[in-house]
Structure 1
Amino acid sequence: MPSSLPADAALPATRDTSLPAVTPLWETVIPAGTHWSAVLRRGLALRIVDIEGGANLAAVFYRQEDPLERYNMADTLKAQHTAHLTRGHVLYSDMGRVMASITADTLGWHDPLGGVGDAALFAQKYGTARYQTHRNDMIRNGRDSLVLELAKYGLGERDLVANVNFFSKVAVGDDGALDFVPGHSRAGSTLDLRFEMNTLAAFSTAPHPLDPRTPYEPKPVRVIAYRAYAADASAPADDPCRTACPENGRGFINTDRLFA
C-alpha cells in the first residue's frame, strides 16, 4: 500500500465504546503460543477478546467448499482504501466476494501488513525450546502453526496466504518502513468478526514477527461464537459494513449470489 495513502481514507477511525449484547453458542480459549482452526458457517460471528493485553492473533481464511478461493490482502486494502482494519471493514476473497466483516471493534486498528514469523526468525529472536524438553512452554512460530492447522483440511504450505494480525498495530512510515507499535492492545480489547460465507479459518497466537520484545511471551485469546443472522439470510441492506463504500456493496452482492 503506498505510504502516502491515509490509513483511514475510506472510513473514519472508529472505536466502539460498548459492544452489542449477544447470545453465546460456544466459546474457547486459544492458549498463548498455540493454534486453532474451525469451519465457521455463514451468519456466524466470533467475538475475539485479548484476555491479558499484548496479544497477536494471526489469521488466514478460505472458502470452505472450495479452498482455492481464499482471503486476499491486496484486494481487501485496495477496495477500501486503507492500510489497517477496524469496524466497518470487510475481508475480501480473491474472487471479489466478502468473506467476513468486522462489525464491532474496541481497539480501532488491526494489522494486515506485517505477515507471520517463521522458524528461522523465531530462533534468532527467542532461541529454541522444543516440546521434548519444554512441553507446553515450547516456542511455536506463527507460520508453522498455521500450516499445521491447514494440514487438518488437506491444505499445505503452498496454500498459506498473507494473513491478518488482529490486536497488533504496524505504522507505515513516509519511507515505507513498517514500525510495530508496542502496547497497542490492552486487556479486554475486543472485535466481532462476522462470516458472510462458509469459511475455514486458521489462527495462531504466536507473537507478531515485528514485535521487538524478548523473551518469548505470547498471550492467550478468547473466542466466543454467536449467531449474527440466519444461515439462509444475509447482512441487511443498511448494514454498516455493506454500505461503507460502493466496493463493499458489490462484494456483498457477489457473496449473496453464492447462496441465492
Structure 2
Amino acid sequence: MQTDTMTRRVEVPGGAGRAVRVRAGELVRIVDILGGQVGDVFAFAAGEQHGNEHHSAEHTRAVTSRLFPAVGEPFVTDRRRPILTLVADTSPGHHDMLIAACDPQRYAQLGVPDHRSCATNLWEALAAVGHPYTGPTPQPINVFMRIPVGDDGTLSWLPAPTEAGDAITFRAELDAVVVVSSCPQDLVGINRGAPSPLAVEVLAGQGRQP
C-alpha cells in the first residue's frame, strides 16, 4: 500500500455521512481516526443507466460463501457484478453484513425520534453528489462492527474493537459512488461512547486485477 498515491481525503464527522466518486481501479481506504467507531459503507455503480445498481450483501454472500469477504474477494452488486474488492485490512478484522443501517424508525423505537441515522446520512450524501438512486436503503457493509453469531444462531452486539488508525481498503472494480456513514448509534453499545470521525482516502491504485 505504501506505493499508492493519495488523490484526496475526506473526513466524515462523527455521526455524519459523506460520498466520494471513484474510478475503477482506484483504492478506497476507510480509517478509524480515534478508534472504536463503526462505519456504514454503501457502494453504487456510477452513471444514470446504473443509478439503482448497488452493492448487495445477499448476492455477495452467495458468491463468497462467507458472512463477510476475505482479503482478495469481491463485493458484488444486485446485478452480480463485482463493484469492490477487499484488498487490505489492518483492523482486528471484525466487520458485518447482517445488520441493517440504523434509520429514523429504529430511533423512534428507542425513544429518540429526532436522532441522526445512517439511512439519513446515506440519502443526504447521495443528494450532495447528485447520484440518482431511488431504491430502498441497501444493507450496508458495516466496517469495524463486531456482531458475532453464536452456535445457537443468536447475535451479540459488541463494541468496535478498532484502535486509532486502523483501516480497511477496497479496490473499485466499477466507476462508483461510495458513501461512508460514521454510525451515530450511541444507544446500543457498538461504538465506544459518542460517535467519532472516520476518514475516506482515495488512492491511485494499480488498476483492476486480471
**Matching residue of 1:67:** 51
Percentage identity across paired residues of the two chains: 24
Gaps of 5+ in 2: none
Greater shift in the superposed pair: 34-43 or 208-217: 208-217
Matched residues, number: 205
Once the two structures are TM-superposed, the CA of residue 209 in structure 1 deviates from its matched residue by 8.8
Question: If the length of structure 1 is used for normalisation, what is the TM-score?
Answer: 0.71
In 2: Cα distance, 1:225 partner to 1:213 partner: 26
Does residue 219 of structure 1 match 2:196? Answer: yes
Two-structure CA RMSD over aligned residues (Å): 2.4
Q: Counterpart in 1 of 2:89? A: 105
- 1:209–1:80 distance in 2 versus 1, CA, 3 Å: farther
Alignment map for 1:198-217 (pairs within 5 Å): 198-207=175-184, 211-212=188-189, 217=194
Change (3 A) 1:172 1:122: same
Counterpart of 1:52 (choices 34, 38, 61) is 34
Judging changes above 3 Å, is the alpha-carbon distance between structure 1 residues 169 and 86 closer, same or farther for their aligned structure 2 residues?
farther
Structure 2 equivalent of residue 146 of structure 1: 122
- Specify the code of the residue in structure 2 equivalent to 1:186: E
Deviation at 1:24, TM superposition (A): 1.1
1:78-126 Cα shifts (integer Å, max 9, x gaps): 2111112442232111222110111110122211111111123235547
Structure 1 residues 1-260: aligned runs within 5 Å: 20-65=2-47, 66-107=50-91, 108-125=93-110, 127=112, 139-151=115-127, 152-156=130-134, 158-207=135-184, 211-212=188-189, 217-230=194-207, 234-235=208-209, 237=210
1:21/1:229 CA distance change after superposition, 3 Å: closer
TM-score (normalised: structure 2): 0.86
Amino acid at match of 1:29: E
Higher CA-based Rg? 1
Q: Which structure shows the bigger proportion of residues in helix conformation? A: 1
Compare relative contact order (CA 8 Å, sep 6+) and give the higher one, 1 or 2. Answer: 2
